[in-house]
Amino acid sequence: MSSPHPTIGITMGDPSGVGPEIIVKALQEMSPELRSVSAVIGNLELLKRADKLVGTGLTFTDSLDARGGMVPVVHVPSKGQHEIRDGQISAAGGEAAYQYIVKAVDLATSGQIAVIVTAPLNKGAMHAAGHHFDGHTELLAHLTGAASSFMLLASDKLSAIHVTTHVSLRGATQRGTTDRVLATIRAGNAHFKALGFANPRIAVAGLNPHCGEGGIFGTEEIDHIVPAVEQAQRESINVKGPISGDTVFYRALKGEFDLVVAQYHDQGHIPTKLIAFDETVNVTLGLPIRRTSVDHGTAFDIAWQGKASPINMRAAVAYARLMADRMPARVAA
């Protein structure tokens, strides 16, 4: 009998980092049923080594049709595997992480897995391997042909979706157009509705101090953010704003809003990580596939020492499972 839960795919990330370790630790904590629908996409021998390192006692199979608590593994070979060293940045590690993502996208687009969960990769290692992307999100957008994507940081306590992410502050002011702010509101609203929120309560943060004070401290709110909010309201989206960045997250934390639209990277990252550092999950919206990720790096300094905590991987898998179970298959997140 097949499982009632769709299969998710967990990419190993840079094998020199903590990815293999946190994956096996997270898998050990699952029920046998969920473990057998949590496929690992990476290097089987390294996964077995991580299992032995931390004593999780898992069993693996090379079939996605796993049973009895066995872990399905999609083994992905890559160039220069013998050059990978524990806790060290290398082109070989970057190449491996890249190939794991390529395979995961193939599996997701063909419907063999429902959601991708990514362990961390190292941007420098990936660049050294010749793959010049700013991170997972940009790579996934490239591989899927998506015109745009959105970063959502989600937790039970506080969630924020970002208008801009990996750009300078100057770049954030330039890229935060009316169209982009509106698209971000729409993406967040659609995602939360798909999760089961009947009428998501969304707040849009201002860009400037005190939302510009009527243009005294900047006119981005007047020129771009207000028009986007008003258009979203005309579309019957339950959104308010702009609201000053120094109060909007507090109001959301107290339960007034389900989601905050942050204008730039640190505006959204600082409060979400301050409030729920270990539980915050990175979710990519706007792609034709669905993806969650841990919200931390490769941690080379503690890699392959048995020290890495699986708490954030556990949260990323749980959110992916929520998406897989609640959202219709083959619907963009």
Task: Note whether 107 and 222 are same-domain residues.
Answer: no
Provide the CATH number for the domain around residue 189: 3.40.718.10
Determine the structural domain holding residue 156 and report its residue range.
150-276
Task: Note whether 112 and 227 are same-domain residues.
Answer: no
CA distances from 309 to 54, 216, 241, 290, 294 (A): 11, 46, 38, 24, 11
C-beta separation of 207 from 244 below 8 A: no
Task: Note whether 19 and 133 are same-domain residues.
Answer: yes
Residue ending a domain, among 229, 250, 276, is 276
What are the mean pLDDT values of the chain's consecutive 10-residue runs (333 residues total)? 78 97 97 95 96 96 91 92 92 96 96 96 95 89 92 96 92 94 97 95 97 92 96 98 97 98 97 92 94 94 95 96 78 44
Task: Note whether 195 and 307 are same-domain residues.
Answer: no
Contacts of 328 (CB under 8 A, 6+ apart): none
Counted domains in the chain: 2
Task: Note whether 26 and 142 are same-domain residues.
Answer: yes
Contacts of 49 (CB under 8 A, 6+ apart): 20
Task: Note whether 263 and 290 are same-domain residues.
Answer: no
At 275, list the tokens. Answer: 């409030």
Within a domain: 247: yes
pLDDT for res 2: 56
CA distances from 169 to 148, 175, 176, 225, 265 (A): 19, 10, 11, 16, 9
pLDDT for res 135: 83
Within a domain: 303: yes
Task: Note whether 180 and 139 are same-domain residues.
Answer: no
Task: Note whether 169 and 213 are same-domain residues.
Answer: yes
Task: Note whether 4 and 133 are same-domain residues.
Answer: yes
Task: Note whether 160 and 271 are same-domain residues.
Answer: yes
CA 162/CA 167 separation, integer angstroms: 12
Q: What is the pTM of this model?
A: 0.91
Task: Note whether 92 and 160 are same-domain residues.
Answer: no
At residue 208, φ and ψ (nearest 5 deg) are: -95, 165
Within a domain: 281: no
pLDDT for res 329: 52
